Every structure is written in structure tokens, then in C-alpha cells.
């Protein structure tokens, strides 16, 4: 079974939701047969690369909240994150463009290091004092190295704005086609969807339901064909 | 959409079937949104690693064919391969255990080089005079390098019989669960199956049918949840 998770590094509920999903997955009897893939989704795709703001400022300007409302939201997120054993800085975090992080995550996927990198990006953005947005490519290269990627290769990906850009855009188009207008968004075997940072119990239910519901394949042209099996390579009679 | 192809390097119809599938894929309008994954299947899993035989000898001993029948089968395969633009040596090929090749293909998958490697392994086994079975690990390391993999890393994978062994076994269990008892076996979005080296037209039909049949996701707990969208990160009211 395959679970695809659309998310953004700048999305607090994605950070929390991933932990809740992983709690359910760890207890799922068929977890060894579950493959997890991360898909790109930008919450703020129109923001220019260098346009970085404090989270509270962004929330007040973009959504017209009061600073108090914005701060209360952050405190709530901090509480929810702590309940999942996650660190979450409720003050002085930055918000910025995440397109390069998504490009790097696609590179990491090709190298089998995607889950390692997304976890490090989340931690860097939500739990660490250093901003993940203001230090340029070298901060992301550091995280790529920590995820087990080659420094020069990661640097080359970041330096070339076209590298993996199509992969990010393709993920975003697919999210729209699947009806996801917010993240995190979980898709199980392209049959079941779970929207949002649901409780672990809901993910457990989704895993069980999708697993039980796997249907037999519909065979196209079941008339027999040229194939090899334990009894040799035959040309069956149609 | 995702297409998984179960196959074995020692399977001539897999070599031919891959070319037929790729012909259909190249003409498929949504080909950019099709991801292809190779899955492991051993035709002769009981054969010991060093037990190498000429193909004709294997066919006569294992399947009780006459040498003439076996040779005629090879000539037929050569004709079918040529029709797909593939080289195929109808004489003096070897047969042997492919487990290490499958382990290496899983390593290549992690590094984003699986399709390159499987193509090189097929070519080495079916089109080249040198045996891919008798020269030990270094022949496979050569092919790994040609596929863009790191030589030392490939060597380490081959030297450790446990490396990626579980991945190979998991693919083989899944093939059995999906009802595949021969290869090549193509699975589209875990919904449609195509067994054998069918004509390109059948693959084209399967791609079209699976694409058109993608069903809307069934949402689990559609009551709204903690998610972030273009309008901010909200805690919807259940």
C-alpha cells in the first residue's frame, strides 16, 4: 500500500499531522508493506523567494488577524505539537517561500532520503532558533548533508531554479485534481483521502479501511500472453 | 498514475514486453504523469548463485524440451525482440541466479537509477557476448557505474547478501498476492493488471482505461480537521 502526503514545510498542521499519522502507522500490523511518499504543496506560492516575515506579522497582514489572535493560534499549535512530543517555537519564527525546499525534497526522493530531509526541514522551521529562510542556500545544504545527501549535488540543485521545479508543479497539479485545497492531505492507494491533522485513531481507521478494501486487479486482455513462469517461457495459445 | 512492472532479468518476454509497454507509454497523452516502478520476480529462485548453465541446456534439463525445441524458442524470441528494435543473441547465452541483480535494482531505485540499471542488465544478458553470470560481482559493478551509481556503494551492496534482500522478497510476496504467477506483470494504480508481453495496443488500452477510471477519493472523516490552506491555518469547527 502506498500513502502519499501532500504538505508544506511552512504548515504547522503538516508537522503535527505527520507525527499523528506516524503514530498510527507504527501500530499498523501491515506497516512493513506501507510505502510513504511526500508530495509538494505550497501554502504561499506567490511569495517571492527573499520575502521573509515574522510569522505573527504575516498572519496579521495576510489574514487580518490581530497580533493577539495570531499569537493565540501559535500557542495552540505549540500545545498540540507538544502533545505529539514535538518541539514548537511559538515566538519569533519566520515565514517565507518554500519552493526551493520542495525542489530539494524531490532531489532527496531520488536519492532515498526524502523522509530524513522533510523531518529535518520541519525541525529547522518549527523548533530551531535559526531561521530556515534568511541564511540562503547554505542553510538548506547543511540540512541536506545531515539527511545524508551529497553537499555539492544539493548545492547544484538549489543553484538551478529549474531543477525539480516541474516535479513540484506536477505534485501541486495533482493535489488540485484530487480535491485537496489544504494540507496536510493524505492519500492511501489513490482510493482514500484524509484531510488535515486528524487524530491518530482516524489515520489508523483509514489504514485499516484502505488495506481491507484493496480490490483484486481487473485484468486487461486475460487471454494469455507471452510470459515466463516457473514452467518456462511459453507463447500461450490465444 | 503509477505502473509497477514485475519482471526478471532472466526473462526474455520481460525484455520484449518492456519495449512494447514503452512504445505505448511514449504515445500516451498523460505520459508525464505516469511513474514506472520495477518490481522483483525471480523465475528460478531455487538456483544457487554459482550455478550457471547455457540457456539451451537449462531449457532441456528443466523443462524436458529437446535441444531443437529450445533453440526454436530462442529463434522466435530473437524475431520478436528484433521487431521491437532490440538485440537478442539466440545462441550461447547463459542462465543463472538473478537475486543479486534484484538487490542491486532496489539500491538503484533508492538512488533514482533503477530504469537505467534494468535496461543495462537486460542488454548485458540478452544482447552481449559476455555472460552476466560468470564474471562475479565486478561485472554488475561495471553496469552499476554505467547506470550512474557509485562503484563502492554498489560493491558494498553486492558483498552483503542481506542488503535489500527483504525488498526483493517483499516484491515477490506482493506478486503472489496480486495473482501474478508469471512475468512480465504490469499493475496500473493497483487497479488494473496486464499479464505478459502483450502488444503495445493492449498496453495503450490499459493506460487509457486506468486513466479514465481513476475514481474520486473516498474521504475518511470529512468533518473538517486541523489544516492549513490559502486562507490560513484554522481549526475548523466539527
Chain B partners within 8 Å of A185 (Cβ): 227
Judge contact between A140 and A103, C-beta under 8 A. no
- A230:B43 CB<8 A: yes
The closest CB to that of B225, out of A191, A197, A228, belongs to A197
Is B194 in contact with A229 (Cβ distance < 8 A)?
Answer: no
The C-alpha cell that represents B112 in the structure block: 533514482
Alpha-carbon gap: B199 to the closest alpha carbon of chain A (Å): 9
Mean pLDDT of B211-234: 82
Inter-chain CB proximity B184 and A33 less than 8 Å: no
Contact predicate A56/A94, CB 8 Å? no
Out of A62, A65, A184, the one facing B227 most closely (by C-beta) is: A184
Interface probe for B, chosen from A180, A228, A235 (most Cβ of B below 10 Å), is A228
ipTM of this predicted structure: 0.83
| pLDDT tens sequence across B198-213 | 999 999 999 999 999 8
A183 contact partners, CB below 8 Å, separation of at least 6: A6, A7, A8, A11, A13, A14, A41, A43, A175, B227, B228, B229
pLDDT at B237: 41
| Digit-coded pLDDT (tens) for B117-159 | 999 999 999 999 999 999 999 999 999 999 999 999 999 999 9
Does A157 have pLDDT greater than 70? yes
Which residue of B185, B205, B220 is in closest CB contact with A206?
Answer: B220
Q: Which of A147, A204, A222 is nearest to A25 (CA)?
A: A204
- Examine the pLDDT at A237 and tell me if it is beyond 50: no
Substitution target in A90, A217, A219, A224 with the highest count of B β-carbons within 10 Å is A217
The dihedral region occupied by A193, where left means phi > 0, alpha psi between -120 and 50, and beta the remainder, is beta
**What pLDDT does residue B229 have?**
87
Give the minimum alpha-carbon distance from B50 to chain A in angstroms, rounded to a whole number.
20
- Report CB contact under 8 Å: A202, B215: no
If one compares A231 and A19, the residue with the highest pLDDT of the two is A19
Express each pLDDT in B20-66 by its tens digit: 999 999 999 999 889 999 999 999 999 999 999 999 999 999 888 89
> For residues B201 and B21, what is the distance between their CA atoms, to the nearest angstrom?
9
**Contact residues, chain B, for A195 at CB < 8 Å:** 219, 222, 224-225, 227
Question: Predicted confidence band at A235 (pLDDT cuts at 50, 70, 90)?
Answer: low
Mean pLDDT score of chain A: 93
* Mean per-residue pLDDT over chain B, rounded: 93
- Give B143→chain A minimum CA distance, Å: 18
What is the rounded CA–CA span in Å between residue A206 and residue A186?
10
> What is the DSSP secondary-structure string of chain A?
-EEEEEE-TT-HHHHHHHHHHHHHHHT-TTGGG-EEEEEE--S-TTS-TT--EEHHHHHHHHH---HHHHHHHHHHHHHHHHHTT-----SS-EE---HHHHHHHHHHHHTT-HHHHHHHHHHHHHT-SS-SSSS-HHHHHHHHHHTT--HHHHHHHHH-TTTTHHHHHHHHHHHHHTT--SBSEEEETTTEEEESS--HHHHHHHHHHHHHTPPPPEESS-S--SEEETTEEE----
Nearest CA in chain A to B74: A233
Question: What predicted TM-score, i.e. pTM, was given to this entire model?
Answer: 0.79
The tens digit of pLDDT for each residue in A167-187 reads 999 999 999 989 898 999 999
pLDDT in tens, B184-193: 999 999 899 9
Closest CA to B211 of B1, B4, B36, B35: B1
Q: How far apart are CA A178 and CA A195, in angstroms?
A: 11
**Which chain A residues touch B206 with a CB distance below 8 Å?**
220
Distance CA B205, CA A86 (A): 48
Amino acid at each position: 500500500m502506498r500513502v502519499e502526503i501532500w504538505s508544506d514545510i511552512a504548515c504547522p498542521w503538516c508537522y503535527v499531522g505527520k507525527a499523528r499519522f506516524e503514530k498510527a502507522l507504527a501500530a499498523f500490523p501491515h506497516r512493513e508493506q506501507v510505502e510513504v511518499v511526500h508530495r509538494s504543496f505550497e501554502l504561499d506560492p506567490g511569495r517571492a523567494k527573499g520575502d521573509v516575515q515574522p510569522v505573527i506579522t504575516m498572519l496579521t497582514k495576510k489574514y487580518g488577524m490581530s497580533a493577539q489572535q495570531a499569537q493565540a493560534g501559535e500557542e495552540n499549535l505549540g500545545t498540540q505539537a507538544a502533545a505529539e512530543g514535538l518541539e514548537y517555537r511559538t515566538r519569533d519564527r519566520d515565514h517565507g517561500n518554500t519552493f526551493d525546499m520542495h525542489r530539494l525534497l524531490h532531489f532527496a526522493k531520488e536519492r532515498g532520503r526524502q523522509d530524513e530531509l522533510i523531518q529535518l526541514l520541519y525541525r529547522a522551521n518549527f523548533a530551531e532558533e535559526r531561521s530556515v529562510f534568511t541564511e540562503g542556500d547554505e542553510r538548506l545544504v547543511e540540512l541536506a548533508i545531515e539527511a545524508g545527501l551529497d553537499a555539492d549535488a544539493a548545492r547544484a540543485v538549489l543553484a538551478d531554479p529549474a531543477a525539480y521545479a516541474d516535479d513540484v508543479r506536477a505534485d501541486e497539479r495533482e493535489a488540485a485534481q484530487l480535491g485537496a485545497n489544504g494540507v496536510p492531505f493524505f492519500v492511501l492507494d489513490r482510493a482514500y483521502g484524509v484531510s488535515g491533522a486528524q487524530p491518530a485513531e482516524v489515520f489508523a481507521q483509514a489504514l485499516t479501511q484502505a488495506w481491507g478494501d484493496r480490490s483484486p486487479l481487473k485484468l486487461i486482455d486475460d487471454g494469455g500472453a507471452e510470459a515466463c513462469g516457473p514452467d518456462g517461457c511459453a507463447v500461450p495459445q490465444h
